[in-house]
């Protein structure tokens, strides 16, 4: 038999990065426990529109845990009270009948609020543009396939490449650090022969851009790894530190 919930929502409302924000309280009835969290948000917005009120702005796209856009801070946790998921993979069965659910945007100087629960995460794109790519000629597809790569390096590179850039690591960090994201993007290339040619320039440029964009420093509390929906390891941060140190020594 399908179960339903009555819930209270405390949702962050903010008209823009320079506007003062506030929490608004909404009540929803008869929400199916099988609904996803974003489906619940859709129901809320339908209710608000029917009441002649402004709907809540929130980000989403694929709703399959791939794009990383559904960046919501729910009851004190990025992506909500479940492990290894994005917000769109969270279901209402994780909540209790009568519960109050607090929903906020990512909180970081590097992610200014655009509106309500939507933040500007283009800073991640700018970090990638600073060096998260291979620009030199490393050969065509047959040549690349002919380059021997140790399996453990290939596996680690693929694990790092699974980062979807959602920003949960930043939201979880008490310092608002983007080190897990940057280290994943550096690691996926640093572990491969094709990425080693520009390794020194990449590490320095991406770290410098991260600092310019207002992200905090890493103090290795490990909260980023715990809340990452793709399970990116903080061992990547150690690799980034090594890559950065080697680049500076060369200078």
The pLDDT mean for the chain works out to 95
Q: Token pair of 118, please?
A: 């939507």
pLDDT at 233 over 90: yes
| Domains, the chain, with CATH or none | 4-115 (3.10.20.30), 121-250 (1.10.1060.10)
Q: Span 122-142, mean pLDDT?
A: 89
pLDDT at 13 over 80: yes
Q: Span 195-206, mean pLDDT?
A: 94
pLDDT the model gives residue 1: 66
Q: Residue 250: which pLDDT band, with cuts at 50, 70 and 90?
A: confident
- The candidate with the shortest Cα–Cα distance to 100, out of 39, 37, 195, 28, is 28
pTM of the shown model: 0.93
17 close to 114: Cβ distance less than 8 angstroms: yes
Q: What is the pLDDT of residues 140-176, one digit of tens each?
A: 777 767 888 899 999 999 999 999 999 999 999 999 9
Q: What is the pLDDT of residues 19-44, one digit of tens each?
A: 999 999 999 999 999 999 999 999 99
Q: Token pair of 105, please?
A: 């945007």
169 close to 127: Cβ distance less than 8 angstroms: no
* d(C-alpha 71, C-alpha 47), whole Å: 22
% the chain with pLDDT above 70: 99
In this structure, what DSSP letter does residue 106 have?
-
Q: Span 119-129, mean pLDDT?
A: 97
Q: Span 104-111, mean pLDDT?
A: 94
In this structure, what DSSP letter does residue 34 have?
T
């Amino acid at each position: 038999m399908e179960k339903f919930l009555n819930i209270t929502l405390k949702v962050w409302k903010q008209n823009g990065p320079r506007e003062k924000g506030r929490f608004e309280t909404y009540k929803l009835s008869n929400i199916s426990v099988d609904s996803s969290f974003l489906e619940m948000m859709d129901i809320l917005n339908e209710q608000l529109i029917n009441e002649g009120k402004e709907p809540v702005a929130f980000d989403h796209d694929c709703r399959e845990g791939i794009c990383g856009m559904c960046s919501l801070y729910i009851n004190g946790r990025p992506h909500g009270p479940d492990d290894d998921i994005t917000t769109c993979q969270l279901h209402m069965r994780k909540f209790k009948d009568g519960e109050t659910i607090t929903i906020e945007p990512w909180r970081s100087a590097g992610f200014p609020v655009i509106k309500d629960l939507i933040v500007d995460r283009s800073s991640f794109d700018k970090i990638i543009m600073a060096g998260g790519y291979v620009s030199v000629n490393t050969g065509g597809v047959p040549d690349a396939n002919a380059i021997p790569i140790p399996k453990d390096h290939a596996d680690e590179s693929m694990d790092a490449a699974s980062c979807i850039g959602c920003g949960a690591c930043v939201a979880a960090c008490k310092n608002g650090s983007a080190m897990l994201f940057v280290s994943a993007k550096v690691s996926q290339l640093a572990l491969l022969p094709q990425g080693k040619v520009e390794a020194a320039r990449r590490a320095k440029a991406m770290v410098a851009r991260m600092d310019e964009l207002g992200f905090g420093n890493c103090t290795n509390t490990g909260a980023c790894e715990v809340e990452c929906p793709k399970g990116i390891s903080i061992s990547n941060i150690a690799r980034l530190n090594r890559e950065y140190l080697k680049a500076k020594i060369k200078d």
